[in-house]
Amino acid sequence: MNSPVRVGNTTHGPERSRLSRMASDPKIRGWVAQAVVGTLIVLAGYYLVSQTIYNMEKRGLTAGFDFLSSTAGFSIGFHLIDYQPTDTFSRVFLVGVVNTLFVSVIAIIFATLFGFVMGIARLSHNWLIARLAATYVEVVRNTPLLLQIFVWYLGVFTLLPPPKQAFELVFGVFVLNNRGFYATAAVPGELFWITGIAIIAGLALTFMFRRSARAQQEATGDAPSYAWKALAVLVAAPAAVFVLTGAPLSWEVPTLKGFNYQGGWAVPPPFLALLIALTVYTSAFIAEIVRAGIQSVGKGQTEAALSLGLPRSRTLKLVVIPQAMRAIIPPLISQYLNIVKNSSLAVAIAYPDLVGLWMQTSLNQAGRAIEIVATTMLFYMVVSLSISGLLNIYNRRVQLQER
């Protein structure tokens, strides 16, 4: 722009004010426009908030967060952190947060595993496997999730036998009935922490073995096997420590007492129905994402790898999947976000997640609609932004390093 001959300056003359020159400067115009829009947004926000407060006052509605410290009074059917009816509403919020995260995290893990298997199966050369996977994806992907949750809950879990005729699996280690799934729990004794340390040390050693094996492979091209060493430090050493410290672990077996099985570790049917529905539904989408990712890797890559003499499994592991991940991660993030948000459908089948405990029960008992809706929205936003933040960091690492 700064050409030596500036025709513009001479035609408009020196009387052209600084103001008009500023008005035609795109940078300054940009700033002004942003300031105007920003002010309008702030004003609109102020209007809406003050109007809401005014309307609430006019209607005699009490506002504020003081209810958080008052006693909730109701019981919760499933909680991972301690909870009593005498606890406060803020505790209820925490219970809801933990329950939501619990089901979401497990569903994310299972959906990812299952989705990858299904996605790879769809590309299988075996006609039957490919067809079955395709049918699975199409059926699951094209029906509403809420409907699937009801099918699992009303069609499967409530139809299980009552406690007195429960299925006892693996000699009673696991119990399944229409009140839930029970598993024998391991109760660590006093000296169990020593075994714990042995396991952690084993993991650390295995990791080191792997690194040195890698280094050796890169230096010499020869990959040494460290399976025996790993087995020794991971299994044999902790087992020896465990026995030497006097096997400090007892088992709590679920047994029928009164109305139901007691003891052990238990999850209720709504949790199982929700977990399976979320896993199945999301895994179908993930399968498609995985398939698309694998197909986005050029055929030449596979052919080149095979012609170098890599076996098929290593071709997939070392050549295809690392490149496919670049196409898989971004859409995978949104599936994870979907799982967290979709877990709020729990409210339909009595799993006490955040929406059920907070937006339903607490909202009704405390009556603070605006405060409760706002905190719930804030929670989902924080979780979603953290998940996408974390995965974006990972994504940046697997993306092509262009130099």
Judged by the rule CB under 8 A, the positions of this chain that interact with other proteins are: 41-42, 44-45, 48-49, 51-52, 55-56, 58-62, 73-77, 85, 150, 153-154, 158-159, 162, 178-179, 257-260, 262, 268-270, 347-350, 352, 356, 359-361, 363-365, 367, 369-370, 373-374, 377-378, 381
Of the pair 293, 352, the CB lying nearest other proteins is at 352
Provide the CA 37 distance to its chain's centre, in angstroms.
36
* Residue 243: exposure state from Cβ atoms within 10 A (0-12, 13-18, ≥19): exposed
CB of 366 to other proteins, least distance (A): 8
Q: For 313-379, where are the E strands, in sequence order?
A: none
Asked if residues 248 and 190 have their Cβ atoms less than 8 Å apart, the reply is yes
Asked if residues 155 and 264 have their Cβ atoms less than 8 Å apart, the reply is no
Asked if residues 274 and 146 have their Cβ atoms less than 8 Å apart, the reply is no
* Residue 401: exposure state from Cβ atoms within 10 A (0-12, 13-18, ≥19): exposed
Of the pair 20, 62, the CB lying nearest other proteins is at 62
Of the pair 158, 296, the CB lying nearest other proteins is at 158
- Of the candidates 184, 183, 229, 231, which has an alpha carbon nearest to the alpha carbon of residue 209? 229
Q: Are strands 174-177 and 167-169 parallel, antiparallel or unpaired?
A: antiparallel
CB of 152 to other proteins, least distance (A): 13
Of the pair 212, 364, the CB lying nearest other proteins is at 364
CB of 169 to other proteins, least distance (A): 20
Of the pair 180, 202, the CB lying nearest other proteins is at 180
List all residues 6 or more positions away from 302 whose beta carbon is below 8 Å from its beta carbon.
315, 319, 320
Of the pair 9, 34, the CB lying nearest other proteins is at 34
Of the pair 237, 363, the CB lying nearest other proteins is at 363
CB of 277 to other proteins, least distance (A): 14
Give whole-number Cα distances, 208 to 175, 202, 211, 368, 388, in Å: 40, 10, 5, 54, 31
CA atoms lying within 13 Å on the CB side of residue 36: 6
CB of 234 to other proteins, least distance (A): 39
CA atoms lying within 13 Å on the CB side of residue 32: 9
CB of 390 to other proteins, least distance (A): 18
DSSP codes, 284-298: HHHHHHHHHHHHTS-
CB of 36 to other proteins, least distance (A): 15
CB of 102 to other proteins, least distance (A): 17
CB of 397 to other proteins, least distance (A): 24
Of the pair 133, 160, the CB lying nearest other proteins is at 160
List all residues 6 or more positions away from 304 whose beta carbon is below 8 Å from its beta carbon.
319
Q: Compute φ and ψ for 70, nearest 5 degrees.
A: -90, 160
CB of 353 to other proteins, least distance (A): 11
CB of 355 to other proteins, least distance (A): 9
Of the pair 61, 253, the CB lying nearest other proteins is at 61
How far, in Å, CA of 119 to CA of 61, rounded?
53
Burial 254-268 (b: 16+ CB within 10 A, else e): beeeeebbeebebbb
Of the pair 45, 144, the CB lying nearest other proteins is at 45
Of the pair 315, 362, the CB lying nearest other proteins is at 362
Give whole-number Cα distances, 329 to 141, 279, 302, 324, 376, in Å: 19, 18, 21, 9, 27
Would you put residue 309 in left (φ > 0), alpha (ψ -120 to 50) or beta?
A: left
